Chains A and B, each alone.
Chain A
């Protein structure tokens, strides 16, 4: 009987189920929270909105957030587009190593990285400031990290990998025929890049930029560490301030404030999709698939110096600072030979709870990343490749989750999934995994959608016309074509879930303590040094995992 069903049905069912899951796990909790912010005991009451938006400081925080996120977004794209091109499409020396280094900064938990930058660039005793003062004989420190500029700098360094991953993945899969045509017609490589590659890459650039914007706007750790000493308030610090009042009113105020962040992020997504909707960006047409490699010629070594310089400043420098910090005996004594030792490492590696937490978090991250990637694929497909009415709605819903500050999501999940509305997953690992999905799925949806929008419909139609089912088409045609972005999407969920801290801190139960929670404990209660040790361990695990992945798949799959 089932054989007589039209072919579209499997597609419809799969997508419908994905959408239902999204509605239940992302939208429903947030709606409950928003409803609670609008109604008190069933009576419509928006005094909290009036109060929150009647305060100058909250507006200032809002403009700060928008301003910062825009700067960070633009800066990230400007920095990462050329990097992605050089690493992905040219004969740049050492490009494989650079690719790993350039994404390494998103493997460092941002709060640990922020501490490293504060140590390097604080105006009174920053190592880098002291060094520059010494070299140039300056009287005053050249940089002050506790400013908007300093905040933008640190945010850019930590969130630009989102743009880099998205852009470089798409770049590797693009159809080179147009570029070849330009080159044959006598265009220089640089001109080809500007006139052909850049416009064709627009969907990925926009997607990457949006990811950076959302990440920067909803980040709490970095503004708290870098912005607070300079009296710079952003939305997340305001929201956390309200939440920490620790009562019902605090939560209502926080939600009222968080709503504007959801609106801004979705507005931006809408605007950008509208911008892109006027053009066709399909670049993978099925005719030729291997992008050609551009010979840099005499520019080879200058380009190398440029990328190496950036990699040094953005990644090696803070990483070194973290590694060195982990090996200092006394933080008070600074860099002296007799001050190095493994004192800070001993409590970390001898305690079983650290290892347990690490493996636990690896597990949660993998589960979240697998479920998230599958859902993302369907959501992205629905939004980019179908003509169903309301096709981009799930996409918007996913962004809603991503744009909501973590602490607000955590609260919504506690209220919704502790049994009052049927499902009770409070204090289990599932509430953690759901929270990671709500927060980070937008990362992989954006990446996969951007990549899907470049796959021409003709390939899919060919498969369907040859009698393949939609699922088969997905498996054999679409997935392989967007495979790099699927891998990228997987890691974009896995990594932040792995060391997530804000939500885990509220949602973990006695047996589900994750590595982020431990890191937070170390950072607040013990000391930064132990946190540095743990970061180094995390980084080692990820790097080793990457090497193994690279070896097993013969270089096809890596971060």
Chain B
């Protein structure tokens, strides 16, 4: 009897240990077979990306399968900051799980390049790309996020529609303006760095916004919601969020392209040096830059980096026009002074 119970206890403990242990073989991602060299790229590729999940499911997966039939692409999708955090953990563990990285914040790529973690590669598709890419090829732009001001057509009087960044400091918006938290959102951080670095605005602009009752929200979704309910009259947000609601749900939101210029964020794609399958990783980067890949970008309501692809539905301006008077961004400064810029913003606006 006792023996039985003893072994039962031992079994249970074994089960618990095994349960914990048997997952050990799960990390098989890097197994890239040598394959037939002449047949083109094959094997597995892991992509970490912040591009929208529905776009991955509806466009990326089927189209990549068609373009690169022998490559098995695995997509890990998460917000830019989550992906950055995951990679920070992986760098510490000395085991980067991704082959290809595709997140929103360009300054992050500068930081990665500095740590010598990115592989240099210049895609042949680059000649059609109208935006700047890294001179060594550590990263290339793949999609454009655009920070703008949005408002709700149904909840705002015609004369109150904002037209410029400066408008947000007007008393009529007092307590009814918002922006996403730059500590938590990479694109919001770029907006802060860009505006603070622009001599027309500087940090003084954020002081004025603070005095005008600027609210800081966790992310874009909170902002779009509160624009819908009328809690905010105008808010800083990504163009793609607004276009999506406008076009798919027929919500009465509209985009104001500020007179002083938009904040154009040319989000890059890059390959990690540690990749076990550079052939396939390069082929995937190429695919993203083809018109086919760029259609996935515009289907996600973002602008294409190519000159020959139509802007997303509902966008009233073309990238080329927006780019002409876009606010100049010092990416080096944004990459080097991240904590100082964030801290400065926090002390000015969030205290």
Q: How far is the CA of A249 from the CA of B19 in the complex (A)?
A: 34
Determine if B88 and A248 form an interchain contact, defined as CB atoms under 8 angstroms apart: yes
**A469 touches B (CB below 8 Å):** yes
Report A329-348 CB contacts with B as 1/0, cut-off 8 Å. 01111100000000100000
Q: How far is the CA of A147 from the CA of B159 in the complex (A)?
A: 32
Known contacts being A17-B13, A251-B92, is A424 close to B24, with CB within 8 Å? yes
Q: Chain A nearest CB: distance from B176 CB in Å?
A: 7
Report A115-134 CB contacts with B as 1/0, cut-off 8 Å. 10001001011000000000
Residues of chain B in range 20-50 having any CB-CB distance to chain A below 8 Å: 20-24, 26-27, 29, 46
Determine if B90 and A414 form an interchain contact, defined as CB atoms under 8 angstroms apart: yes
Where chain A touches its partner, the secondary structure class is helix
Determine if A527 and B224 form an interchain contact, defined as CB atoms under 8 angstroms apart: yes
- Which segment, of A190-198, A283-291, A517-525, faces chain B? A517-525
Q: How far is the CA of A353 from the CA of B76 in the complex (A)?
A: 15
Determine if B20 and A430 form an interchain contact, defined as CB atoms under 8 angstroms apart: yes
Q: Chain B nearest CB: distance from A236 CB in Å?
A: 12
Determine if A469 and B27 form an interchain contact, defined as CB atoms under 8 angstroms apart: no
**B258 touches A (CB below 8 Å):** no
Q: Chain B nearest CB: distance from A9 CB in Å?
A: 8
**A71 touches B (CB below 8 Å):** no
**B130 touches A (CB below 8 Å):** no
Residues of chain B in range 65-111 having any CB-CB distance to chain A below 8 Å: 74-79, 81-82, 84-95, 97, 108, 111
Q: How far is the CA of A334 from the CA of B231 in the complex (A)?
A: 12
Q: Chain B nearest CB: distance from A466 CB in Å?
A: 13
**A233 touches B (CB below 8 Å):** yes
Determine if B92 and A248 form an interchain contact, defined as CB atoms under 8 angstroms apart: yes
A428 contact set on B, CB distance < 8 A? 23, 26-27
Q: How far is the CA of A418 from the CA of B95 in the complex (A)?
A: 8
Residues of chain B in range 217-250 having any CB-CB distance to chain A below 8 Å: 217-222, 224-226, 228-231, 245, 249-250
**A509 touches B (CB below 8 Å):** yes
Determine if B16 and A244 form an interchain contact, defined as CB atoms under 8 angstroms apart: no
With an 8 Å Cβ cutoff, the count of chain B residues facing the other chain is 86
- Which segment, of B52-60, B142-150, B198-206, faces chain A? B52-60
For A246, give its contact among B17, B88, B215, B225 (CB under 8 Å): B88
With an 8 Å Cβ cutoff, the count of chain A residues facing the other chain is 82
Known contacts being A124-B175, A124-B176, A414-B89, is A505 close to B82, with CB within 8 Å? yes
Q: Chain B nearest CB: distance from A237 CB in Å?
A: 8
- Which segment, of B4-12, B119-127, B260-268, B308-316, faces chain A? B4-12
**B187 touches A (CB below 8 Å):** no
Determine if B225 and A528 form an interchain contact, defined as CB atoms under 8 angstroms apart: yes
**A2 touches B (CB below 8 Å):** yes
**A355 touches B (CB below 8 Å):** no
Scoring B19, B76, B93, B218 by chain A CB atoms within 10 A of each residue's CB, the highest score goes to: B218
Determine if B76 and A524 form an interchain contact, defined as CB atoms under 8 angstroms apart: no
Determine if B20 and A122 form an interchain contact, defined as CB atoms under 8 angstroms apart: no
Q: Chain A nearest CB: distance from B220 CB in Å?
A: 7
Report B127-159 CB contacts with A as 1/0, cut-off 8 Å. 000000000000000000000000010110000
- Which segment, of B161-169, B178-186, B269-277, B283-291, faces chain A? B178-186
B219 contact set on A, CB distance < 8 A? 524
Report A21-36 CB contacts with B as 1/0, cut-off 8 Å. 1000100000000001
Q: How far is the CA of A429 from the CA of B92 in the complex (A)?
A: 21
Determine if A527 and B20 form an interchain contact, defined as CB atoms under 8 angstroms apart: no
For A506, give its contact among B86, B183, B245 (CB under 8 Å): B86
Please name 7 pairs of A and B residues whose Cβ atoms are closer than 8 Å in the assembled complex, sorted by A: A17-B13, A228-B217, A246-B85, A330-B249, A416-B93, A423-B20, A427-B97
Binding site for A on B (CB under 8 A): 1-3, 5-6, 8-10, 12-13, 16-17, 19-24, 26-27, 29, 46, 52-54, 57, 74-79, 81-82, 84-95, 97, 108, 111, 152, 154-155, 175-176, 178, 181, 183-184, 215-222, 224-226, 228-231, 245, 249-253, 338-339, 342, 346-347, 350-351
The 6 A-B residue pairs whose C-beta atoms are closest, nearest first, are: A246-B84, A428-B26, A414-B89, A430-B23, A428-B23, A331-B228
Binding site for B on A (CB under 8 A): 2-3, 5, 7, 9-10, 13-14, 17, 21, 25, 36, 57, 115, 119, 122, 124-125, 146, 224-225, 228-229, 231, 233, 240-241, 243-251, 330-334, 343, 353, 367, 371, 374-375, 407, 410-411, 414-416, 418-420, 423-431, 434, 469, 471-472, 505-506, 508-510, 517, 521, 523-528
Given A330-B228, A425-B20, 10 further pairs, Cβ under 8 A: A14-B12, A57-B351, A228-B181, A244-B184, A251-B88, A332-B229, A414-B89, A415-B92, A510-B46, A524-B221
